[in-house]
Amino acid sequence: MSDEFFSARDIAMHFGGIRAVESVSFDVQRGEVFSIIGPNGAGKTTIFNMISRIYTPTAGTLNFDGQDITRIAPHRIARLGIARTFQNIELFTNATLLQNLLIGRHSHSTAPLLSQLAFLPSVRRAEVDHRKRAEEVIEFLDLQRYRDQLIANLPYGVRKVVELGRALCSQPKLLLLDEPSSGLNTEETEGMAFWIEDIKKDLSVTIIMVEHDMKLVAAVSDRVMALNQGRILAMGSSAEVQGHPDVVRAYIGGEPEAPRVESVAAA
């Protein structure tokens, strides 16, 4: 048993014949930004899904904050202090921004059901407290003017930020960001880089980030891990990994997508 903040030991994920992830091990130190890069289908999102317990690893163990989380129930992960965002944005689209952030507070609500049905004073106090926390996040991410809007009516770039905010509302110790810059334009991507820095420095949250934009990766990462076809290619500083011959080969060797050196404005 290691006393690392987070560690994955020989984890594997097989879907029938597909070996999406195969004997991957890595540690993440408290307070660092650890990035995972790799071409499409490398298994990056699958690793996140194992950590948030949507998938149960075929083999290996996951440890977080001194606890084995390999087989814990998925809804318990948030309470332990792990929050995430999704590659394709999974917000509650028919609720307002504020409601979305308040749902992010769910792991901190302890009121028994009956006291909620009766809206006892203790529930009211807790609600005011949740609201204060949500407002702090709104201010932190500069979302004031969208507070009462339905997510369905917000532009894509804003939604990306809201999803980050919802994750922050749970006051996580570990934050998993799945392609935070995808779909953002250059300017928005720069904004995202600042926020990631702030989250790390001001809120001292540890971050694991999956990202294709190499400029963003280089700007915020302490360490980078490159993955291809479910296996680790290289691990080290951003420059080391980007220059690693195997990584270069994986990206240009007929793989669908090369690492983007510039941010690409997408839809």
Q: Note the residues at the interface with other proteins (CB under 8 A).
A: 45, 49, 52, 54, 73-79, 83-84, 86-95, 99, 102-107, 109, 111, 113, 116-119, 123-124, 127-128, 130-132, 135, 152-153, 156, 159, 166, 170
CB of 219 to ligand ATP, least distance (A): 19
Cβ-in-10-Å burial (0-12, 13-18, 19+) of 262 comes to exposed
Which is closer to Mg ion, CB of 87 or CB of 149?
Answer: 87
Answer with the entry of Mg ion, other proteins, ligand ATP, none that 242 interacts with (C-beta below 5 to 8 A by kind): none
Tokens of 46: 């699958």
Min CB(104)–ligand ATP separation in Å: 23
201 binds, among ligand ATP, other proteins, Mg ion, none (CB under 5 to 8 A by kind): none
Instruction: Work out what residue 114 binds among Mg ion, other proteins, ligand ATP, none; the CB cut-off runs from 5 to 8 Å by kind.
Output: none
Do 33 and 209 touch, CB atoms closer than 8 A?
Answer: yes
Closest by Cα among 39, 33, 15 to 219: 33
User: What is the closest distance, in whole angstroms, from the C-beta atom of residue 94 to Mg ion in the complex?
Assistant: 25
Kindly state the smallest distance separating residue 178's Cβ from ligand ATP, in Å: 7
Report helix angle 186-201 to 156-169, nearest 10.
10
From 44, 105, 133, 159, residue interacting with ligand ATP (rule: CB under 6 A): 44
Q: How far is the CB of 147 from ligand ATP (least distance, A)?
A: 31
- Between residues 45 and 70, which has the closer beta carbon with respect to ligand ATP? 45
DSSP label at 256? S
Find the shortest distance in angstroms from Cβ 53 to Mg ion. Answer: 17
Q: Is the distance from CB of 73 to CB of 26 less than 8 angstroms?
A: no
Q: Which is nearer to other proteins, 144 or 153 (CB)?
A: 153
Strand partners, 177: 209
CB count within 10 Å of CB 196 equals 24
Residues 147, 139: contact at Cβ < 8 Å? Answer: no
Longest Cα separation, the chain:
63
Q: What does 119 interact with, of other proteins, Mg ion, ligand ATP, none (CB < 5 to 8 A by kind)?
A: other proteins
Q: How far is CA 190 from the centre of its chain?
A: 18
Pick the binder of Mg ion from 24, 35, 45, 183 (CB under 5 A): 45
Is 229 near Mg ion (CB under 5 A)?
no
Binding partner at 245 among other proteins, Mg ion, ligand ATP, none, C-beta below 5 to 8 Å by kind: none
CA 103, CA 167: separation in Å to the nearest integer? Answer: 10
> CA-based Rg of the chain, rounded to a whole angstrom?
19
Contact partners, residue 257, CB within 8 Å, separation at least 6: 39, 40, 212, 251
Closest approach of Cβ 50 to other proteins, in Å?
13
Judged by the rule CB under 5 A, the positions of this chain that interact with Mg ion are 45, 87
